[in-house]
A and B are shown apart, each in its own frame.
Chain A
Amino acid sequence: MNLWAVLPVLVPLATALLCLALQRRPVAQRFVSLVGGASFLGIAVALVLGTAGGAVYETRLGNWPQPFAIRLSIDALGAALLAVSGAVLLALLAVPGRGECATARSPLVPPLVHGLMAGVGGAFSTADLFNLYVWFEVMLIAALGLIALGRERRHLDAALRYLVLNALAAVLLLCAVGGLYGVGGSLDFDALSLGLGGDGSPSAAATALVALALLALLIKSAAFPFGAWLPAAYPVLPTPILALFAGLLTKVGAYAVLRLVAQVAPAASAPLLEPLGWIAAATMVTGVLGAAYHQDLRRILSFHVISQIGYILLAISLGTRAAFAAALVYTVHHILVKANLFLIAGLVRRSGGSFDLRHLGGLASRPALALVFAIPAASLIGLPLTSGFWAKLTVVKLCFAEGRYTFGVLALLVGGLTLYSMAKVWIEAFWKEPPDPYYPRRVPKMAFVATFALAALTLALGVYPEPLLVFAELAAALGPGGAR
């Protein structure tokens, strides 16, 4: 227990340090990086298997008594997210590093990527509010480094936007964490939950500070109208790194919202759920409209990230245990699909020579590319037999069951707009005659391995979602008493 709970932090941290030491030996660095990624995934899968049996991997760091120690506690929720994060990490590491720009080949990429993963691992494992903030910072800085690696003007502009808006979120989060400590008397999730009034009657101050913390986390998860940093920063990144960002960064924010709402402050956050639902709805709609508008594949997909975050937040805002389970299902689905789509965008670029739909065409003559795009695209839309179908179905079903018909209808309509956006990509990039007959080029088979693996995972969850749904139901029992 003591060992397993720290591994999701220590393994990527150690990998990052080793990669830093091996900067001048690209082959060795790549090897270490892959081994580190594989170990991360292996550990996370082991944790999933363990938590599926009801175990919770806990450790009180420094062996100080509860609730004074920083506690790491990997429950089913954390383990599931660690596992999909690991899958995404391994997939992007497996994509050959050659590609659109020098950034992807820089020897600084592996240390920063694993540093970011250390932040992700810490955020998904910790049961301490301040510690959570620390891991958010780790992610912020690692992400900033990855954005700025390009060193061109557009990279620096993007880095500046990313830094300013996320630093603002960090300040807000720090203030909120301090405030919650002041009001609740502890930083440990469970003790804080009691201090904030548990399931009973929370003070108005507790609600106010939870609102402040949610504000910070909503910025982190790029909810409307706080998500401007995301489309401003993402499209400058090389696609493998973009896959990592899109898959993980905002989802950690959404995860923290879930922890806060479901476990730390269920009662105190109750009055906030209604406005949260509207924010989620606005996020869904504005995100998908952005995707409908844009022509650059990276921008389209970036806006879909926002839109999908809306679904996750919408599920959380329903405030029931089943809804929390749905949020987890959606997050797992979304991480797999979105990361994969960005990896595929890289392949599209390699084959078609551009990210811009206006310059693309004829990719349907590359059947492997067409197939590997079609699967996650169908999942993003929510077609049956893909993970996205069950993810959307459960969210909409719960909206209806809770009597939130407006939200349910909006969620369905956003699905329709997603269909529009993906049809646009398909028709323009795959069907239209290529503007330049030199394209599309062949892409080596090795480049498809990771994307096909992720697509297969999406399909597997789509064909037989029951294990995931049962696991999510188990994972949604958060906090000492479990959620409502």
Chain B
Amino acid sequence: MRHPEDTPNTAPNTAPNTAPNTVSGAELGSARVPSPIVLRATRILYRVLLAAAVLLTLRGHHEPGGGFVGGLFAAVAVLTVALVQGPKVARRRLRVTPIQVAALGVSLAVASGLPALVTGQPFLTHTIGYVPMVGGAWKVSTALLFDFGVLLCVLGSVTGFCLRLLESR
């Protein structure tokens, strides 16, 4: 997978990256083959950390927590994968590039303020809606949307930075 930030302006370097299994990738993979137990533990840890991140963000409005810390937790989740299985796997987990994750976060935060503009209120005037779901009507507010934007932005930036570090030698 070729990432957008590996831009075409440095042509010779990017050429091998278009093929998925490049020399460096193979090297990284063969250097440490994690045992199945570690792999499984990693997968569990990854999910737990992600869930914690979401929970921290969800309850952040009332209890300590919030999108920022949530983002850090999510980043740690991805980095765990990167440390164990290599940065390539971690990138695949994200599906899109970290920068795109971060950009999505900022977009989400901006989007959370837009409904108010449509109704003629100032930008970022948050509204609350109740969504019927398991366990009764869940309170969903645009503020939460904003907080998830923060989460994604932190996640994207931190993982982007750290993955790059891990990939360098």
Is the A/B pair a real complex? Answer: yes
Q: Which of A10-18, A301-309, A344-352, A411-419 forms contacts with chain B?
A: A10-18
Known pairs A24-B4, A108-B5; A62 contacts B122 (CB<8 A): yes
Give chain A nearest CB distance to B115 CB in angstroms: 12
Most buried by A among B110, B122, B125: B122
Contact A62 B126 (CB under 8 A): yes
Total A-B pairs, Cβ < 8 A: 52
Evaluate contact between B122 and A17: CB separation under 8 angstroms.
no
A105 within 8 A of B: yes
Complex: A6 Cα to B107 Cα, angstroms: 15
B18 at the interface (CB under 8 A from A): no
Q: In the assembled complex, which residues on chain A have CB atoms less than 8 Å from the CB atom of B117?
A: 2-3, 6
Asked whether any CB of chain B lies closer than 8 Å to the CB of A106, the reply is yes
CB proximity of B11 to chain A, nearest CB, Å = 10
Expressed in whole angstroms, the minimum distance between the Cβ of B70 and any Cβ of chain A is 21
B45 within 8 Å of A (CB atoms): no
Contact mask A404-430 → B, CB, 8 Å, 1/0?
000000000000000000000000000
Q: Is the interface of B mostly helix, strand, loop or mixed?
A: loop
In the complex, whether A359 has a CB less than 8 A from a CB of chain B is no
User: In whole angstroms, what is the CA distance A63 to B103 when docked?
Assistant: 26
Query: Which of A3, A23, A59 lies in contact with B7, CB distance below 8 A?
Result: A23
Residues of B within 8 A of A63 (CB): 116, 121-122, 125
Q: For residues 123 through 138 of chain B, which have their beta carbon under 8 Å from a beta carbon of chain A?
A: 123-126
The chain A residue sitting closest to B123, CB to CB, is A6
Chain B hits for A59, CB < 8 A: 122-123
A6 to B10, CA, bound (A): 38
Instruction: Report if B77 contacts A (CB, 8 A).
Output: no
With A13-B110, A63-B116 as contacts: A23 and B5 at CB distance below 8 Å: yes
Nearest-CB distance from B106 to chain A (Å)? 6
> Does A21 have its Cβ within 8 Å of any Cβ on chain B?
yes
Q: Which residues of B contact A13 (CB under 8 A)?
A: 106, 110
B35 part of interface (Cβ distance < 8 Å): no
Sample of 26 A–B contacts (CB below 8 Å)? A6-B122, A6-B123, A10-B110, A13-B106, A13-B110, A20-B99, A20-B100, A21-B103, A23-B4, A23-B7, A59-B122, A59-B123, A60-B122, A61-B123, A61-B125, A62-B122, A62-B124, A63-B116, A69-B122, A102-B9, A105-B9, A106-B7, A106-B9, A107-B7, A108-B5, A108-B7
Residues of B near any A CB (own CB < 8 A): 4-5, 7, 9-10, 99-100, 103, 106-107, 110, 116-117, 120-126
